[in-house]
Amino acid sequence: MLSEEMLEGTATTKSRVKGKGRTFDLSDAANVVLFLAAFLGAWQLVYMAGIWPDALLPSPATAAGKMSALFATGSLTISIGTSLLRLGVGFAISVALGGIVGLAMVKFPGFGKTMSSFAVGLLTFPSIAWVPFSILIIGFNDFGILFVVVMASVFSVMITTYSSLRNIPPLYVRASKNMGASGFSLFRHVMIPAATPSLIIGMRQAWSFAWHALIGAEMLIVTLAGLGYLLYVGREFNDMAQIITVMVSVFAIGIVFDRVIFLKLEDRIRSKWGLGENR
């Protein structure tokens, strides 16, 4: 006699392997593999068609060899580590500053209305446009890169914090107050949990802004380290294989962060609050 849990597991279209509190979706992995196979196949076909010379479009094998060479020399590993360190520091600063200002915007409505319009205007400002300002004011160093990363993402965090807390259903707050919650207790146990799903989505968006800004800043603010610097070197020496290698690395890091960290965190929060089952 099959248990209800076994019947549900048979009926679902997703195969899952569970262990140590984590769930690995085999269908997701299969989709990624199929996508990569299709992409590499199309790339190989275009290369074999000879539409562009080898210098402009190397074969997948050539790009893979270049990636192996960069790993062997340690250049790619060091660049990835440097970029992730800068990203972590810059994003942490953005979350701290944006969260504090966002909370102040909620606390003081007049300031919130004015600052929200100001933040939206700066959010539409291209992140690459901060680079000349950073170079002239700060210089060609890590602090200049961090400045660009922070300016590209802090306003997204600010607006996310402000809008997430303001859009909490008033019924939650009134019901909590009727049951005796007030002050920090109301904020900690009611408002923050209710706003968390929206906050997670906003953090994903802010992280993507920071990641885009970081690569652009590293290309223009040359500090001899980082994925953006490897792109710069590849462009200067017309090394398309190196450019493609770095682009693949940037794409892979973005996918890993989104799928492994942000998406899983969002799914857990949504499941906890009954907003939908995990993907």
* pLDDT at 54 (0 to 100): 81
Q: For residue 99, what is the enclosing H or E element?
A: helix 75-107
pLDDT, position 51: 86
Burial 185-208 (b: 16+ CB within 10 A, else e): ebeeebbeebbbbbbbbbbbbbbb
Q: What is the rounded distance in angstroms from the CA atom of residue 117 to the CA atom of residue 129?
A: 20
Which residue, 143, 148, 146, is CA-closest to 131? Answer: 148
Residues counted in the chain? 279
Low-confidence ranges of the chain (pLDDT < 50): 1-24, 278-279
- Tell me if 92 sits within 8 A of 149, measured CB to CB: no
Q: Nearest Cα to 152, choosing from 128, 132, 118, 117?
A: 128
From the list 183, 178, 184, 130, the residue with the least C-alpha distance to 155 is 130
DSSP string, 185-214: HHIIIIIHHHHHHHHHHHHHHHHHHHHHHH
| Joined tokens for residue 262 | 């942000």
Which pLDDT score is estimated for 15? 42
> Sign of dihedral through CA atoms 237, 241, 243, 246?
negative
What pLDDT, on a 0 to 100 scale, did the predictor assign at position 183? 63
pTM for the model stands at: 0.78
Confidence (pLDDT) at 8: 45
Gap between the Cα atoms of 117 and 136, Å rounded: 27
Residue type, 165: L
Distance CA 29, CA 36 (A): 11
Q: Which of 216, 40, 22, 226 is nearest to 131 (CA)?
A: 216
CB 229 within 8 A of CB 241: no
Residue with token string 């007049």: 110
For residue 273, the model assigns a pLDDT of 61
160 contacts 205 by C-beta, under 8 angstroms: yes
pLDDT of residue 10: 42
How far is residue 50 from each of residues 58, 165, 245, measured CA to CA in Å? 10, 55, 20
